[in-house]
Chains A and B, each alone.
Chain A
Amino acid sequence: MEERVKDDMGGLAATLDFDAELMLRVKDGDGASFAILLGKHRLPVIHFLYRMVQNQAVAEELAQEVFLRVYRSRGSYEPTAKFTTWLFRIATHLALNSLRDGKNRRLEERLDDDSSETPVRQVSDQRPSVEQRMVYQARMEEIRRAVAMLPEKQRAAVLMHKYQEMEYSQIAKVLNCSESAIKSLLFRAYETLRARLAHMA
């Protein structure tokens, strides 16, 4: 299919990523292309938002809004950047707004709560003991707290760098900063995380 799209679009295809080509098809009224984009980016977006706001229900609600905005903006879409840059710019914008608006109050409540939404990881014997489970949950809680305490922009940059494996230049475009500012932001963020998580070595 990729080849066919490239053939259809001629020389333009060389400068576009495949997702952008799909989005142009959505712009032309092709619902199937939207389904492909959704299937491809659903999990990365939800996971990014979950780690940003640290609440699964809020993360899914925000992800719904992200894809809804993508769909609604199809008419005015122009592939001026990578599709994922545009997508994560929307996601980051919504996450930061959500955090600033205090819609995610449950996060703070949950951080003070012992309960956890994190799935229990299966360790080697596939039947973790109560002790192993508690150790794992305490470790996850510590990681979540460390990330949650980062300033919002630093948090977004770390999550995109670590989990989306984005280049500095792309993170810079998402967060509307210079590349050197992003490097500095990430350096400070990891410095904080190193201090908080050093004992996990």
Chain B
Amino acid sequence: MNCPMETGGNAELLLDYAAGKLKAGARAQVALHIEVCPACSAFAGAQQTVWQALEDWEPAEVSLDFDRRLHARIEQAVPWWTRLLRPLNPLFRHGVPIGAAAGVVIMAGLLMNRPASVPAAPAPQSAQVEALQPDQVESALDEMEMLREFNHLVPDNAGPKM
């Protein structure tokens, strides 16, 4: 095995050895090398001291109300309408597809049974003529006759004289 201290980029082998992160085969190789290499031996020894010192560094206790405070902050960020509708969430989550399908079926049924109250399409013009009353037709003919007579009475040059 090449000396990790002398081989560029292999120093992490000694870090991992000191950290106990090497697999059995690699660990045995490094251990054999360390026995004959004073530089690596000194390095690994010092690194194990650091590792052990860090191991002893215990963090402080975490507050018991950490989760409660976090959930309170999460809750604060939730809009009021979402909080208001929250009890209905299960309904929305599971009931809406069923309700929507039922609604569609009911609406379709209602539309099919509905009486034809929608406005009828405009009737053809001939039908409108047929619908006229005889007295209306008579009155219209009378008016046309009066207009014709009036046109005969008025001379062609009867415009205003300046």
Bound Cα distance from A193 to B9, whole angstroms: 20
Within 8 A of B (CB), among A102-126: 117-119, 121
Nearest CB of A to B148, in Å? 83
Q: Is the interface of B mostly helix, strand, loop or mixed?
A: helix
Task: Tell me whether A197 is interfacial, beta carbon within 8 Å.
Answer: yes
The chain A residue with its CB closest to the CB of B69 is A64
* Stretch of A2-10, A85-93, A183-191 lying at the B interface: A183-191
- Excluding A46-B59, A56-B60, 4 further A-B contacts by CB distance (< 8 Å) are A119-B58, A162-B19, A186-B15, A200-B52
User: How many residues of chain B get a CB closer than 8 Å to chain A's CBs?
Assistant: 30
Find chain A residues with CB under 8 A from B47 CB: 190, 194
B73–A64 CB distance below 8 A: yes
Task: Tell me whether B12 is interfacial, beta carbon within 8 Å.
Answer: yes
Please report B residues at the A interface, Cβ cutoff 8 Å.
9, 11-12, 15, 19, 21, 45-47, 49-54, 56-63, 66-67, 69-70, 73-74, 77
Please report A residues at the B interface, Cβ cutoff 8 Å.
38, 42-43, 46-47, 50-51, 56, 60, 63-64, 67-68, 71-72, 117-119, 121, 139-140, 143-144, 147, 158, 161-163, 165, 168, 180, 183, 186-187, 190, 193-194, 197-198, 200-201
A43–B62 CB distance below 8 A: yes
Bound Cα distance from A156 to B46, whole angstroms: 21
A197–B50 CB distance below 8 A: yes
A42–B49 CB distance below 8 A: no
Instruction: Please name 12 pairs of A and B residues whose Cβ atoms are closer than 8 Å in the assembled complex, sorted by A.
Output: A47-B59, A56-B59, A56-B60, A60-B63, A64-B73, A144-B57, A147-B54, A161-B19, A165-B21, A187-B15, A193-B54, A200-B53
A194–B50 CB distance below 8 A: yes
A42–B67 CB distance below 8 A: yes
Find chain B residues with CB under 8 A from A187 CB: 11-12, 15
Find chain B residues with CB under 8 A from A200 CB: 49, 52-53
B49–A197 CB distance below 8 A: yes
Bound Cα distance from A61 to B58, whole angstroms: 19
B49–A51 CB distance below 8 A: no
B53–A162 CB distance below 8 A: no
Nearest CB of A to B155, in Å? 90
Given A187-B11, A198-B49, decide whether A63 and B60 contact each other with a Cβ distance below 8 A: no
The chain A residue with its CB closest to the CB of B58 is A119
Of B51, B62, B63, B70, the residue contacting A67 (CB under 8 A) is B70
The chain A residue with its CB closest to the CB of B89 is A29
Bound Cα distance from A46 to B52, whole angstroms: 21
B53–A60 CB distance below 8 A: no
A140–B56 CB distance below 8 A: yes
The chain B residue with its CB closest to the CB of A50 is B59
Bound Cα distance from A190 to B19, whole angstroms: 12
Find chain A residues with CB under 8 A from B45 CB: 201
Of A121, A162, A180, the residue contacting B51 (CB under 8 A) is A162
Bound Cα distance from A43 to B51, whole angstroms: 21
Find chain B residues with CB under 8 A from A42 CB: 62, 66-67
B59–A51 CB distance below 8 A: yes
Find chain A residues with CB under 8 A from B74 CB: 68, 71
A117–B60 CB distance below 8 A: yes
